[in-house]
A and B are shown apart, each in its own frame.
Chain A
Amino acid sequence: MIPASFDYERASSLDEALNMLAAGGEDARPLAGGHSLLPLMRLRLARPSLLVDIGGLDELRGVHADGDSVVIGALTTHHEVAGASELTGGSGLLAKVAEGIGDPQVRHRGTLGGSVAHADPASDLPAALLALDAEVTLAGRGGTRSVAAADFFVGPFMSAAADGEIVTGVRVPTREGWGSAYRKFQRRAQDWAIVGVAAVVNWTESGIAGAAIGLTNMGGTPLRAPGVEAALAGTSEKAQILAAASKVSELETPPADENASSEYRVHLAQVLIARAVAEAAGCPGMQPG
């Protein structure tokens, strides 16, 4: 299909972009990589009156280490995130996740900020940001603010960003010494996750000293699995990890669609949590068969 007609403006600074959005009213939308927005417009499911292209705002691009965290600009592409050497320790999770998004075209056009702002519960990066206790930074005409990832994703395609606000980036704790893994279950190589499991694990000689689990496509927003995380603490064997993973069934009932029923999603999440945790721990003895 062909999109309904719209106006287009290209911003050359963040302030200009914010002003353009404000002038454009509630149907004005920022355009980053366009890889979520344009498909919706082509199906006429989205009909913005004005697109403010923020693609030229180099100030919002790049990955920088800042003490014990890493700051990633909103316009950093998935491809750039996948190759960022600053993402060490637990934050290395983001690179692993970005590497498996879509296909090469998608990774070279799609942006971290777009993925966050779009708040699709099937997108991969949000669950990883949640597991890493990241903060999302926002700019509006009234100034800047930051929101914990846990508070940012409020529903399917709904976030805490206000109309006219622009996501400027994310700040992610590095978590040196932690391991990470992302297990994405899909039917075709470039598909969205049927279920995705992001795990960051602090593995010590006495077993798991800390673990965080983020889940993709298991609810209306990306989810943490607190019951699983608590049960993982102190475990060191495969059977214990499997038992801890089964606590995922305590979460809200996941969605059902043509790829998977709710019941199967819960089952998959258990299997994938166990695999992701074992991989993140880097302990071969725990790898499932």
Chain B
Amino acid sequence: MATAEKYVGGGVPRKEDPKLLTGQGTFLEGLTLPGMLHAALVRSPHGSARINSVDVSAAAAAEGVVAAYSGADLADEWAAGLPMAWPVTDDIRIPDHWPVAQDVARYVGDAVAVVVATSRNAALDAAELVEVEYEVLEAVVDVEAALADDAPRVHESFDDNKSYTWALTNGDVDAAFAKADVVVSERYTQPRLIPNAMEPRAVVAQSVPSTGDFTVWSTTQIPHVAKVLFALTLGIPEGQIRVIAPSDVGGGFGSKLNVYAEEALCIALARRLGKPVKWVAGRSEGYLATIHGRDQVQKIEIAATSDGDILGYRVNIAAAMGAYLQLVAPGVPLLGAFLYCGCYGGEAYHFECTGVFTNTTPTDAYRGAGRPEATYAIERAIDALAREVGVDAAEIRRRNFLPAGDMVQSPGGLAFDSADYEPALDRALELLDYDGFRSDQAERREGGGGKQIGVGFSSYVEICGLAPSQVLASLKYAAGGWDAATVRMLPTGKAEVVTGSSPHGQGHVTSWSQIAADALGIPYEDVTVLHGDTHVAPHGMNTYGSRSLAVAGVAVHNACDRVVDKARGLAAHLLEVAPEDLEYEAGTFSVKGVPDRTKSMPELAFAAWTAHSLPEDSEPGLEASCVYDPPNFTFPFGTHVAVVEVDTETGAVDLVRYIAVDDCGPVINPVIVDGQVHGGVAQGIAAALYEEATYAEDGTLETSSMVNYLVPSAAEFPSFETDRTVTPSTSNPMGVKGIGEAGTIGSAPAVINAIVDALSHLGVTDVPMPASPERVWRAIQAAQGGEA
């Protein structure tokens, strides 16, 4: 039955939830195949060590063990090393990266051997029997220390620890700084973060020796991309690999946007042993062997007039790559390279970034990837400018906002669509009751008590929806930015949507169902969404960078339009009128002026299937595809506000309020958008207050579990207050913009700015992330001249 109800914009419950909430999710750890073997890896306990010998004999002889291999034993499995797809400069240094290290182990967690057994327990027990003789080398774990002339080298074959330097200049930077009344120079550190998807990584690889076919199940965000890269790494013809991301993948945040050693290894082992091979990460193992994020040192200078009008920007960052270059690691800082001017104006802009090797777990894209770092730097620095010129923190932002409009030129060199930054700031100030807050704050200060309050702002703009393939080419990104959809009416009047996105918690099944149900005029329940299996969805660029709705979702929308077009021809044929004589609304074609002569979409679907009577030149079936490559990125924006109370005696920070006003254009599902904002904000606050991966000098990861890597829980957060402004993007026909990362991008600087604001009357101007109680206490001590 056709329905007039509009699903888009409504908060329909997520189709994914009943299954997840009742324990019926199908996660990869639950997959068991006949004859399946289990792999356990032996990992280097040293930050840097030459592997003198690996003796697997005792492990190989242990009960239940089928095989045990060193890196050298497996060397001939690889047609190429693990892939890196973003060589950002022509002279970038790309080290060999083997799934199992062959000569030198370069971080704690680098695999040095693998044991395969009939059970996971047997494999783990036997892995302890592998004897590795190491010659321990000096390690370097700090990004600045790694740049020193006498630093130990992570890769002997390179002269130093630099991988690349990438720079961008717009306008006459020196002139802008020369005429400035004030220059603020700030230095910030971005702590190293460990992504914590609810589901650890896992992989099962199955080979069919008689045909040479492989099926790989992986907890990946990128089944299609991985298929291409598995083929290249293992030398298997691409057509003989099928990659399946299970219908439930428990989160990724970028940590599953990669091609990992264990994936390649399980395929190689399945090929060698002719049996399915499974590997499941333990939580602490994942902390060593899954990519980390951030770990940068940033220097930012802003040149401005004495009124606080910004003239120019100069930015220099050192970004830790870790021991090897993972899939898109060199490009992560580039995703922020255009954003160190935020949503503000200016005449000139210089950005420079050096990628640095350290003896640590490789870094790569983690929720926000480059943009949280950039936003942090500019949003902290603009507060520093506000203090310097004596202008209110909200006012200085307003004064420097780019003008509202479409395709507004930013000093960083990009043109932002749908720019309109003031309404979001205004709305946030209104929700906050800014004047009321400032008078409460003044009262507290006067009282002189040990609990002081502060407010912090963050007005962000971000780049997402990756996106135009030609632009990605100019940045030397080795893949395209398009995505694909096929929409198929089934004979019973239901619809099947095949998408190239690979959801792992985002709710694409729900959102794509809403889009298709509205376009096809059928109930939301009648839409099925298929994804994540390269045999089912032939094309896809998958899910990362807040791209799915703005690219794959638009492809669904366009494919639906094409289905409706074809249906119109069939309806016209059956009603014996010209296609132009038909009106289409909510799944029903009716003859203009004769409203009772109609054909509904289910009727047409059945007619197209029986194919008893089709228009000339028309084929049976009612189905269309779209591969969509958008003309531009999308640029969501917003203003976030944090209110904190700081205990000046202990340094403890209590986050009292958090307000997020975001603009992601028209909203498909407000419940999902709120969910994305809440989770993203929580992750940004986590970076500001709790999470930091630390290494000992010898390369040992000190924060090796959730006991001391402080992932916060709901108990640490206030109830978030969210609101929206709606400025449609002009880059796609739906006007939509990404919202998957905005919360993480906007939040951390708001929190730190609030802490600094709370303590500004004591002379505090900076507190490093994460603002642990001790760091806050020390900042107060330092500002007061070291007195207790």
Interface-lining segment among A66-74, A148-156, A168-176, A257-265: A257-265
Are the CB atoms of A288 and B649 closer together than 8 Å?
yes
Are the CB atoms of A289 and B450 closer together than 8 Å?
yes
Interface flags for A259-289 (1: CB within 8 Å of B; 0: not) read 1110010011001100000000000000011
- Find residues 191-220 in chain A having any chain B CB closer than 8 Å to their own CB: 191, 194
Interface-lining segment among B402-410, B555-563, B610-618, B712-720: B712-720
B305 at the interface (CB under 8 A from A): no
B774 at the interface (CB under 8 A from A): yes
Are the CB atoms of B715 and A188 closer together than 8 Å?
yes
B657 at the interface (CB under 8 A from A): no
Are the CB atoms of A187 and B773 closer together than 8 Å?
yes
Measured in the bound complex, the distance between the Cα atoms of B649 and A31 in whole Å is: 41
Contact of A189 among B650, B713, B778 (CB under 8 A): B713
Are the CB atoms of B124 and A2 closer together than 8 Å?
yes
Specify which chain A residues have a CB less than 8 angstroms from the CB of B285 in the assembled complex.
Answer: 1
Question: From residue A45, how far is it (CB to closest CB) to chain B in Å?
Answer: 11
Question: From residue B164, how far is it (CB to closest CB) to chain A in Å?
Answer: 32
Q: How many residues of A contact B (CB 8 A)?
A: 24
A43 at the interface (CB under 8 A from B): yes
Interface-lining segment among B85-93, B132-140, B523-531, B702-710: B702-710
A190 at the interface (CB under 8 A from B): yes
Are the CB atoms of B690 and A2 closer together than 8 Å?
no
Asked, given contacts A1-B282, A43-B284, A187-B772, whether A258 binds B703 with beta carbons under 8 Å apart, the answer is yes
Are the CB atoms of B774 and A260 closer together than 8 Å?
yes
Are the CB atoms of B652 and A264 closer together than 8 Å?
no
A8 at the interface (CB under 8 A from B): no
Are the CB atoms of A188 and B716 closer together than 8 Å?
yes
Interface flags for B715-735 (1: CB within 8 Å of A; 0: not) read 110000000000000000000
B120 at the interface (CB under 8 A from A): yes
Specify which chain A residues have a CB less than 8 angstroms from the CB of B34 in the assembled complex.
Answer: none
Specify which chain B residues have a CB less than 8 angstroms from the CB of A105 in the assembled complex.
Answer: none
Question: From residue A124, how far is it (CB to closest CB) to chain B in Å?
Answer: 16
Asked, given contacts A5-B121, A271-B650, A288-B649, whether A261 binds B715 with beta carbons under 8 Å apart, the answer is no
Are the CB atoms of A185 and B694 closer together than 8 Å?
no
- Find residues 63-114 in chain A having any chain B CB closer than 8 Å to their own CB: none
Are the CB atoms of B788 and A1 closer together than 8 Å?
no
A4 at the interface (CB under 8 A from B): yes
Interface flags for B284-313 (1: CB within 8 Å of A; 0: not) read 110000000000000000000000000000
Contact of B777 among A189, A191, A267, A288 (CB under 8 A): A267
- Find residues 518-568 in chain B having any chain A CB closer than 8 Å to their own CB: none
B595 at the interface (CB under 8 A from A): no
Which residue in chain A gives the minimum CB-CB distance to B449?
A289
Are the CB atoms of B650 and A185 closer together than 8 Å?
yes
B213 at the interface (CB under 8 A from A): no
Question: From residue A4, how far is it (CB to closest CB) to chain B in Å?
Answer: 7
B160 at the interface (CB under 8 A from A): no
- Find residues 647-667 in chain B having any chain A CB closer than 8 Å to their own CB: 649-650, 652
Asked, given contacts A2-B121, A264-B774, A267-B777, whether A190 binds B284 with beta carbons under 8 Å apart, the answer is no
Asked, given contacts A1-B124, A288-B649, whether A259 binds B716 with beta carbons under 8 Å apart, the answer is no
Are the CB atoms of B715 and A259 closer together than 8 Å?
no
Question: From residue A267, how far is it (CB to closest CB) to chain B in Å?
Answer: 7
Specify which chain B residues have a CB less than 8 angstroms from the CB of A1 in the assembled complex.
Answer: 124, 282, 284-285
B131 at the interface (CB under 8 A from A): no
Question: From residue A278, how far is it (CB to closest CB) to chain B in Å?
Answer: 13
Asked, given contacts A5-B121, A43-B284, A289-B449, whether A258 binds B777 with beta carbons under 8 Å apart, the answer is no
Interface flags for B154-172 (1: CB within 8 Å of A; 0: not) read 0000000000000000000
Measured in the bound complex, the distance between the Cα atoms of B650 and A187 in whole Å is: 12
Measured in the bound complex, the distance between the Cα atoms of B450 and A289 in whole Å is: 5
Measured in the bound complex, the distance between the Cα atoms of B650 and A271 in whole Å is: 7
Measured in the bound complex, the distance between the Cα atoms of B126 and A5 in whole Å is: 12
Which residue in chain A gives the minimum CB-CB distance to B649?
A271
Measured in the bound complex, the distance between the Cα atoms of B128 and A2 in whole Å is: 13
B347 at the interface (CB under 8 A from A): no
Question: From residue B629, how far is it (CB to closest CB) to chain A in Å?
Answer: 44
Asked, given contacts A288-B450, A289-B450, whether A4 binds B125 with beta carbons under 8 Å apart, the answer is yes
Specify which chain A residues have a CB less than 8 angstroms from the CB of B773 in the assembled complex.
Answer: 185, 187, 194, 260, 264, 268
Interface flags for B270-286 (1: CB within 8 Å of A; 0: not) read 00000000000010110
Specify which chain A residues have a CB less than 8 angstroms from the CB of B774 in the assembled complex.
Answer: 259-261, 264
- Find residues 741-788 in chain B having any chain A CB closer than 8 Å to their own CB: 772-774, 777-778, 788
Measured in the bound complex, the distance between the Cα atoms of B266 and A133 in whole Å is: 58
Specify which chain A residues have a CB less than 8 angstroms from the CB of B715 in the assembled complex.
Answer: 188-190
Which residue in chain A gives the minimum CB-CB distance to B704?
A43
Measured in the bound complex, the distance between the Cα atoms of B694 and A28 in whole Å is: 36
Measured in the bound complex, the distance between the Cα atoms of B712 and A267 in whole Å is: 25
Measured in the bound complex, the distance between the Cα atoms of B124 and A1 in whole Å is: 9
Measured in the bound complex, the distance between the Cα atoms of B649 and A260 in whole Å is: 15
Measured in the bound complex, the distance between the Cα atoms of B713 and A264 in whole Å is: 25
Question: From residue A269, how far is it (CB to closest CB) to chain B in Å?
Answer: 11
Measured in the bound complex, the distance between the Cα atoms of B649 and A272 in whole Å is: 10
Measured in the bound complex, the distance between the Cα atoms of B690 and A43 in whole Å is: 23
Contact of A259 among B124, B451, B772 (CB under 8 A): B772
Specify which chain A residues have a CB less than 8 angstroms from the CB of B716 in the assembled complex.
Answer: 188-189
- Find residues 487-522 in chain B having any chain A CB closer than 8 Å to their own CB: none
Contact of A190 among B690, B694, B713 (CB under 8 A): B713
Specify which chain A residues have a CB less than 8 angstroms from the CB of B649 in the assembled complex.
Answer: 271, 288
Are the CB atoms of A187 and B282 closer together than 8 Å?
no
Are the CB atoms of A267 and B450 closer together than 8 Å?
no
Interface flags for A235-264 (1: CB within 8 Å of B; 0: not) read 000000000000000000000011111001
Asked, given contacts A4-B125, A5-B121, whether A188 binds B712 with beta carbons under 8 Å apart, the answer is yes
Which residue in chain B gives the minimum CB-CB distance to A274?
B649
Question: From residue B453, how far is it (CB to closest CB) to chain A in Å?
Answer: 14
Specify which chain B residues have a CB less than 8 angstroms from the CB of A288 in the assembled complex.
Answer: 450, 649
Asked, given contacts A43-B284, A189-B716, whether A268 binds B124 with beta carbons under 8 Å apart, the answer is no
Question: From residue B475, how far is it (CB to closest CB) to chain A in Å?
Answer: 37
Are the CB atoms of A188 and B713 closer together than 8 Å?
yes
Are the CB atoms of B777 and A264 closer together than 8 Å?
yes
- Find residues 691-711 in chain B having any chain A CB closer than 8 Å to their own CB: 694, 702-703, 705, 708, 710
Question: From residue B710, how far is it (CB to closest CB) to chain A in Å?
Answer: 6
Specify which chain B residues have a CB less than 8 angstroms from the CB of A259 in the assembled complex.
Answer: 708, 772, 774
Interface flags for A27-60 (1: CB within 8 Å of B; 0: not) read 0000000000000000100000000000000000
Of A4, A189, A258, the most chain B CB neighbours within 10 A belong to A258
- Find residues 116-132 in chain A having any chain B CB closer than 8 Å to their own CB: none
Measured in the bound complex, the distance between the Cα atoms of B122 and A4 in whole Å is: 10
Specify which chain A residues have a CB less than 8 angstroms from the CB of B702 in the assembled complex.
Answer: 258
Are the CB atoms of A187 and B450 closer together than 8 Å?
no
Which residue in chain A gives the minimum CB-CB distance to B706?
A188
Specify which chain B residues have a CB less than 8 angstroms from the CB of A289 in the assembled complex.
Answer: 448-451
Specify which chain A residues have a CB less than 8 angstroms from the CB of B713 in the assembled complex.
Answer: 188-190
Which residue in chain B gives the minimum CB-CB distance to A288?
B450
Which residue in chain B gives the minimum CB-CB distance to A39?
B707
Are the CB atoms of B710 and A268 closer together than 8 Å?
no
Asked, given contacts A1-B124, A2-B124, A259-B772, whether A188 binds B777 with beta carbons under 8 Å apart, the answer is no
Measured in the bound complex, the distance between the Cα atoms of B777 and A260 in whole Å is: 11
11 contacts between A and B (CB under 8 A): A188-B715, A188-B716, A190-B713, A194-B773, A258-B694, A258-B702, A259-B708, A264-B773, A264-B778, A271-B649, A289-B449
Interface residues of B (CB under 8 A from A): 120-121, 124-125, 282, 284-285, 448-451, 649-650, 652, 690, 694, 702-703, 705, 708, 710, 712-713, 715-716, 772-774, 777-778, 788
Interface residues of A (CB under 8 A from B): 1-2, 4-5, 43, 185, 187-191, 194, 257-261, 264, 267-268, 271-272, 288-289
Q: In the complex, given contacts A188-B712, A258-B694, A258-B702, what are 5 additional A-B residue pairs having Cβ atoms less than 8 angstroms apart?
A: A5-B121, A187-B710, A267-B777, A268-B773, A289-B449
The 10 lowest CB-CB distance pairs between A and B, nearest first, are A189-B715, A289-B449, A264-B774, A289-B450, A1-B282, A271-B649, A260-B774, A258-B708, A2-B121, A271-B650
